[in-house]
Amino acid sequence: MDMHALTRSLKEKNDSKIVMLVADGLGGMPVEPGGPTELEAADTPNLDRLAKKGVLGSMIPIKPGITPGSGPGHLGLFGYDPLKYVIGRGVLEATGIGFDVGPKDVAIRCNFCTLDAQGNITDRRAGRIPTEQSAPLAVKLREVKIPGVEVFVEPVKEHRFVVVFRGEGLGGNVADTDPQKTGVPPLDPAADDYDSQRTADVAKKFVAQAREILAQEPKANGLTMRGFAVKPALPTYQEAYGVKAAAIAVYPMYKGLARLVGMEIVGQPNNLEEEIDVLGRAWNDYDFFFVHFKYTDSRGEDGNYRAKVEMVAEFDKIVPRVEALRPDVLIVTGDHSTPAALASHSWHPVPTLLAADTCRPDACERFGETEALRGGLGHFEALYLMPLALAHAGRLGKFGA
């Protein structure tokens, strides 16, 4: 029995409100021996007060040693086993630009490339053609018509764009057409299973028409297709947990990930303050709120320790506004660590805080990585954060008599 079978069978209704504040890439590292992490260095009076009242834990995003991308990181946070539910590259790319991938869709990451007169690839990325030049080409490819299939083409950045085919019987197991070298032609789309044969046929037609449309383009006269993927069959928050969930985020990627699990995207906030405005306005209409803050991750990725410290402090400042709404369960966490010292996502556990009247407080006095090691939630996998949230909200009944 997996955790969703359990939560589905035990879920109970009440009027409680759960807020999950996610500071992307929250976990960090010291930059000098014995020094503090970004979170520990930051001025966080509000989070420290919450830490004293609530319970801390050291959350493992996937499994020890595994560094998650944004997709698996968020799936884990949302309580979906990221090793069971894999979001294919095409779907993640489409999701990242705000495309709402549906159940009849197969999404594909495409690259513009350049071909010589014989049709062999001369540059696999079309010289990293600037977005201003590549975007109109992507839009032009919308002229492609394939009977029985809706075709969507969306520009991404530089040589990258997304194609989505919508129709019946389109499986997602088609091999990449990028041969990974120059001097040879792109591969023909080839199905890896019976259910994906139609997708491969559709892709072949797409490529043929696209090649005609692009034939005279000097910068990019060909394309390759990679990461064919269909939307994974994720149970929704409503099904799995019995909650009506809202997602509040600035960036399309996180809205898209939330949409995949059945959250409704509310508002169009441009920054954290506006996100909390949206939270307040949506308060009466939902049971669960996912609020995403991007910049802790961004500054970590930049390798800028001081700037990440400042972002944490900025994040801390909005906490009282959230508390003022009186959530029954307030969680503060991240989808993974992004230590400035590594300038990248990492596998390190994420300090996590849960405040609720029903929690058993621990001895933690402030919010930070070291303090979280002696927290009452112990070391736990992200997968269990949602069951813990529901339990503390009184939304899970007893298992067995």
What is the rounded (10 degree) CA torsion for 364, 370, 376, 382?
140
Residues binding its own copies: what is the number (CB under 8 A)? 71
Q: Is 294 in the site for its own copies (CB under 8 A)?
A: no
Task: Specify the residue, 269 or 349, whose C-beta has the smaller distance to its own copies.
Answer: 349
Task: Specify the residue, 273 or 365, whose C-beta has the smaller distance to its own copies.
Answer: 365
Own/partner contacts of 28-36, CB < 8 Å, gap of 24 or more, are 28/300, 28/305, 28/308, 28/337, 28/338, 28/339, 28/340, 28/341, 28/369, 29/337, 29/339, 29/340, 29/341, 29/342, 29/346, 29/348, 30/341, 31/305, 31/340, 31/341, 36/368
Q: Is 370 in the site for its own copies (CB under 8 A)?
A: yes
Show contacts with its own copies in window 4-33 (CB under 8 A). Answer: 6, 10, 27-30, 33
Task: Specify the residue, 283 or 384, whose C-beta has the smaller distance to its own copies.
Answer: 384
Binding mask 29-68 for its own copies (x = CB under 8 A): xx--xx--x---------------x----x---xxxxxxx
Show contacts with its own copies in window 99-118 (CB under 8 A). Answer: none
Show contacts with its own copies in window 371-390 (CB under 8 A). Answer: 373-380, 384, 386-390
Own/partner contacts of 300-304, CB < 8 Å, gap of 24 or more, are 300/25, 300/28, 300/38, 300/337, 300/338, 300/339, 300/340, 300/343, 300/344, 301/25, 301/338, 301/343, 301/344, 301/345, 302/340, 302/343, 303/340, 303/341, 303/342, 303/343, 304/340
Out of 25, 54, 82, 269, name the contact with its own copies by CB under 8 A. 82
Q: Is 369 in the site for its own copies (CB under 8 A)?
A: yes
Question: CB of 285: closest distance to its own copies in angstroms?
Answer: 25
Q: Which two tokens stand for residue 297?
A: 């991750």
Q: Interior CA angle at 255 toward 141 and 109, to 5°?
A: 30
Question: CB of 300: closest distance to its own copies in angstroms?
Answer: 13
Question: CB of 368: closest distance to its own copies in angstroms?
Answer: 11
Out of 77, 362, 366, 367, name the contact with its own copies by CB under 8 A. 362
Question: CB of 259: closest distance to its own copies in angstroms?
Answer: 17
Question: CB of 195: closest distance to its own copies in angstroms?
Answer: 21
Q: Is 172 in the site for its own copies (CB under 8 A)?
A: no
8 A C-beta contact, residue 149 and residue 141: no
Please state, in angstroms and rounded to a whole number, the distance separating the CA atoms of residues 132 and 157.
9
Show contacts with its own copies in window 136-155 (CB under 8 A). Answer: none
Q: Is 347 in the site for its own copies (CB under 8 A)?
A: yes
Show contacts with its own copies in window 313-342 (CB under 8 A). Answer: 337, 339, 342
Task: Specify the residue, 59 or 250, whose C-beta has the smaller distance to its own copies.
Answer: 59
Angle, helices 70-77/89-96, rounded to nearest 10 degrees: 90
